[in-house]
Amino acid sequence: MAKRARRKTAKKAGAPTEGASGLDLATDKLYFKIGEVAQIVDVPAYVLRYWETEFRSIKPQKSRSQQRIYRRRDVETLLRIKHLLYERKFTIAGARQQLKEHAEGLEMAAPSGLFVARQSLGKIKAEIEALSAIVHDEADAERGADPAAYLQAIGGARVLFERPNAQALLQRTGGGARRGRR
């Protein structure tokens, strides 16, 4: 019971989303659908369903639509199973025995490079879009865009202060209250 309470408080305190093993999937997601897990582990979905029947430690939750939802811990276990079966050439029974005896100390297979690359590419694209928007905003300002027209288009000056990065935007463009200067 105390173990569960510690886990919950660690999540609330902003603990990293990586598993205890430090598994880096290049995503902050905590739950994965079977197709995503199949990509990460680099095995077909039917193999994952079979492993569920053979290894008791893999028990994905079900969504409302009865889809399997795997936690990061499940993905780590599946990567350990893959390492035992595919790289160390254990039988199912041997892998099951190894998991029972040395669950946390076992090496994991590396996550699929393709999955990690796609996740990283998604993050990079989002950053490029954000930077592109900033560049376009600055280009409009340099071309002499009419500030009054801009304020009218976005719904007034109050909207600027309601945005999450309003102060940074105002300081960058030279607007807003200047602190520390007299």
Domains and CATH numbers, the chain: 2-114 (1.10.1660.10), 129-173 (no CATH)
User: What's the whole-number mean pLDDT along residues 94-112?
Assistant: 74
- Residue 25 pLDDT greater than 90, yes or no: no
Long-range residue pairs from 124-128, CB within 8 A, at least 24 positions apart, any chain: none
Cα separation, 103 vs 72, whole angstroms: 15
pLDDT value at residue 60? 92
Reported as a pLDDT band with limits 50, 70 and 90, residue 4 is very low
Average of per-residue pLDDT values in the chain:
73
Whole-structure pTM value = 0.52
Using the structure block, give the residue that is written with the tokens 């019971």. 1
pLDDT digits (tens, 9 = 90+) for 106-116: 666 666 667 66
- DSSP, res 83: I
Token pair of 56, please?
């008791």
pLDDT digits (tens, 9 = 90+) for 154-169: 777 666 666 655 555 5
pLDDT value at residue 142? 61
pLDDT value at residue 8? 37
Cα separation, 174 vs 150, whole angstroms: 16
